[in-house]
Structure 1
């Protein structure tokens, strides 16, 4: 940190985290460092400084904030990165460092949607049984597909950026390696060509809503996992609002 540029930790890896880092570097009043979880090989470097990997729980994060002279933390992690959110809240409370949550809005069902909302993947598996799903687009991330391998009579199209390692013992499954966001036209073609009757996904929000629009148009059902509970933290939905908060929090 320089005398005139307070150092800001961005807990990132999301589109919002990258956009915030770019905005802070372009503004020139802050010195951002983005922390990435390291779950994706060769992540795209954000603007400003970058670190990769965990901190060692809330205690390790608190030590890092103090050692690095961090003036503010902005949690721009994925809506389902629950543990990091709680660690940040604890560490910032212990050190007195201001904390902001930058989070994209949830998706909300619209007229014509056929959603089943679930709190976890076990409930999603039960929902697929109740719905008698036959051909499922599994868009939950490579690390969370294993609970669905208990459905031997359901064909799964597993879409992820990287292949699950190890691959769970699915009876009927096909792997589709692809990185979004995807266009409405592509999502519509995929659901139609693969005869998908049900999508399983997380309520991540953001630009991947095209699969939901395609499902609505084709009458495809959606099993939607709701977001986990987060600590009570000041939250904004846009980069502009985050920079405005920094103005007020640390000048």
Structure 2
């Protein structure tokens, strides 16, 4: 991993009607980093992401990027007019990338077999993987994901976070991710930033869940309230989260998280 920052925020501030929504935030993302931003509703998480994407003007501080940086963005939801017929192929080609590049991205996310399917017939997990594939078709240096596991069941979420780590490894890109899935994401990230307009606390997942500022915002430490997602698979899941294969003894266990 290089120390060169792909994107760096210094005391970045965004105000709406003179009210700070993001207040003096510092953030540095390098190649290979997976940084997850957590926080309560209204904490400024999506506003911060929009500032990084360049679609939200900043009110103060600075934001710098590596020249020529390519960003891939995965929004929370895929919203399409229900009366508009569109295939996965057409949706991907609208990105402006060559068909081969689109197919490679679909293969990375495990849904290349859906190339000719209707987007409207995809499951929640398949739609999220399609959004990720569209972002990957750009071959990004920085991948930005806003609640990537929305509408996906618990096992599908675990598989999706595994996929994001795999993409990071393959592309050696940086990743910024917003998530509420604390029980999974604390094991799927390298660094956590707890945001509530300002940065309440930040650090490694194993440490931050015991930080007083984290506990004040989210309650007792994650390790005490949840079985955090650290385990080994002896099987795999399909896009819907169902077990599809296991070891020869037929013993298939899965304990991604327990409340």
TM-score by length of 2: 0.25
Query: Which has more radius of gyration?
Result: 1
TM-score by length of 1: 0.26
More helix by proportion, 1 or 2? 1
